């Protein structure tokens, strides 16, 4: 009997395979600038499920506990703000049927992870592992989806996209069970460091996809702000300089009108009346005000140009 039991034990050990995460080796420690993660097993998280709002994240809710599948509805655009974390419960995932704009920053990445990620729920005794949640599923109608400075960790499929017309910038994949990135049923090899992917514009034209939808959605607003700012900056400087010169001439004219060193019929006091003198004073003040206005406009234009580089 002991021999039989020992044989069964040996066969069981030989047949057992370590989980996928263990086979892949030790994952480099994930870090995130998101702080103040609650230690109460999720009591401070807003629950999330179903269709997403137009904007997710921001100051009020930076962290969400996904309790049911979430959707970017078809024909809609959903924007996820930088610094947002979505913690998925088992058997849940994200379906992108419209356009997803998840644009984090290097300082504030957007994190898609397991509900057991100890960066956000340090009080939990259960540790996150691969296969904890399903992953992000981008449907064919989800073309022009943009994800930048994001983390996708501890899922089954990572990102599975049925369309190649998506854009990834500095996306980090780690500890995903079956795949990190699949595009049109083809697994894509990703690098350990942040990974980027984009389709060439010529490919879009060949496939009949409108090129405009692949452009950066913020580009029109950015260009409008930038070029308007440049115009206001240049116009303000020109206006301020012109009227500053004019008020300098006005001041010289006033000094000439008040010159008492010249006497006789050529005296300014004879040539100009009091109303002429007051008119010159008002003109000087007007030109000075317009000069200040011009320089203020140039300052506002410079602010607009600078702000256009922040998004």
* pLDDT digit string, tens, across residues 21-30: 333 333 344 4
Of 237, 222, 254, 252, nearest to 302 by C-alpha is 237
- Do the strands 186-187 and 181-183 form a parallel or antiparallel pair, or are they unpaired? antiparallel
Within a domain: 230 = yes
Within a domain: 200 = yes
pLDDT of 34 higher than 80? no
Q: Are residues 212 and 229 in the same domain?
A: no
pLDDT of 260 higher than 50? yes
pLDDT at 33: 40
Judged on CB neighbours under 10 Å (0-12, 13-18, 19+), 129 is middle
Within a domain: 38 = yes
Q: Are residues 184 and 119 in the same domain?
A: yes
- Rounded Cα distance, 304 and 306, in Å: 5
Rounded mean pLDDT, 245-253: 89
Of the ranges 34-48, 123-137, 194-208, 247-261, the best mean pLDDT one: 123-137
Q: Are residues 171 and 186 in the same domain?
A: yes
Q: Are residues 226 and 196 in the same domain?
A: no
- Give the chain's domain count: 2
Q: Which of 37-41, 44-48, 243-247 has the lowest mean pLDDT?
A: 37-41
pLDDT of 297 higher than 50? yes
pLDDT at 254: 82
Rounded mean pLDDT, 70-86: 93
Q: Are residues 147 and 261 in the same domain?
A: no
Q: Are residues 44 and 193 in the same domain?
A: yes
User: pTM above the 0.85 mark?
Assistant: no
pLDDT of 111 higher than 80? yes
Of 65, 18, 12, nearest to 43 by C-alpha is 65
Within a domain: 13 = no
Rounded mean pLDDT, 266-281: 73
Does residue 9 or residue 204 have the better pLDDT? 204
Q: Are residues 240 and 206 in the same domain?
A: no
Cβ proximity of 50 and 76 under 8 Å = no
Within a domain: 5 = no
pLDDT of 198 higher than 90? no
Residue identified by tokens 């003109």 is 283
Rounded mean pLDDT, 177-184: 95
pLDDT of 114 higher than 70? yes
Residue that is last in its domain, among 154, 182, 217 = 217
* Six token digits for residue 236: 């303000």
Q: Are residues 204 and 276 in the same domain?
A: no
Residue that is last in its domain, among 190, 217, 244 = 217
Q: Are residues 290 and 243 in the same domain?
A: yes
Residue that is last in its domain, among 196, 217, 238 = 217
Q: Which of 94-103, 203-212, 232-241, 282-291 has the lowest mean pLDDT?
A: 203-212
Sort residue 149 into left (φ over 0), alpha (ψ -120 to 50) or beta.
Answer: left
Rounded mean pLDDT, 60-80: 90
pLDDT at 29: 43
Of 46, 47, 216, 33, nearest to 109 by C-alpha is 33
Within a domain: 125 = yes
Within a domain: 3 = no
pLDDT at 218: 65
Which residues is 188 bridged to in the sheet? Answer: none
pLDDT at 38: 40
Q: Are residues 267 and 121 in the same domain?
A: no
Within a domain: 103 = yes
pLDDT of 264 higher than 50? yes
- Mean per-residue pLDDT over the chain, rounded: 80
In which domain, by residue range, is 41 found?
20-217
Q: What is the 3-state secondary structure (H, E, C) of the chain?
A: CHHHHHHHHHHHHHHCCCCHHHHCCCCCCCCCCCCCCCCCCCCCCEEEEEECCCEECCCCCCEEEEEEEEEECCCCEEEECCCCEEEECCCCEEEECCEEEEECCCCCCEEEEECCCCCCCCCCCCCCCCCCECEEEECHHHCCCEEECEEEECECCCEEECCCCCEEEEEEEECCCCCCEEECCEECCCCCCCEEECCCHHHHHHCCCCHHHHCCCCHHHHHHHHHHHHHHHHHHHHHHHHHHHHHHHHHHHHHHHCCCCCCHHHCHHHHCCHHHHHHHHHHHHHHHHHHHHHHHHHHHHHHHHHHCCCC
Cβ proximity of 149 and 169 under 8 Å = yes
pLDDT at 85: 94
């Amino acid at each position: 009997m002991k021999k039989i039991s020992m044989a069964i034990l040996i066969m069981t050990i030989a047949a057992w395979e370590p989980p996928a995460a263990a086979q892949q080796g030790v994952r480099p420690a994930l870090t995130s600038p998101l702080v103040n993660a609650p230690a109460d097993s999720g009591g401070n998280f807003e629950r999330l499920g179903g269709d997403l709002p137009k904007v997710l994240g921001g100051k009020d809710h930076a962290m969400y506990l996904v309790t049911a599948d979430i959707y970017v509805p078809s024909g809609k655009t959903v924007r996820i703000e930088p610094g947002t974390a979505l913690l998925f419960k088992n058997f849940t995932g994200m379906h992108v049927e419209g356009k997803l704009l998840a644009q984090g920053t290097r300082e504030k990445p957007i994190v898609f992870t397991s509900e057991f990620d100890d960066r956000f729920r340090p009080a939990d005794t259960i540790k996150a592992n691969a296969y904890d949640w399903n992953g992000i599923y981008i449907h064919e109608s989800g073309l022009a989806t943009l994800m930048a400075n994001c983390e996708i960790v501890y899922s089954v499929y990572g990102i599975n996209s049925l369309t190649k017309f998506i854009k990834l910038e500095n996306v980090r994949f780690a500890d995903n069970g079956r795949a990190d990135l699949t595009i049109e049923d083809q697994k894509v090899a990703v690098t350990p460091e942040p990974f980027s992917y984009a389709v060439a514009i010529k490919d879009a034209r060949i496939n009949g996809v409108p090129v405009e939808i692949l452009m950066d959605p913020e580009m029109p607003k950015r260009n409008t702000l930038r070029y308007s700012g440049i115009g206001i900056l240049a116009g303000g400087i020109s206006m301020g300089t012109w009227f500053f010169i004019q008020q300098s001439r006005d001041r010289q004219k006033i000094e000439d009108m008040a010159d008492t060193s010249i006497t006789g019929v050529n005296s300014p006091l004879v040539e100009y009346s009091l109303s002429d003198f007051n008119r010159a004073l008002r003109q000087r003040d007007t030109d000075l005000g317009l000069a200040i206005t011009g320089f203020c406009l140039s300052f506002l234009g410079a602010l607009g140009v600078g702000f256009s580089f922040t998004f």
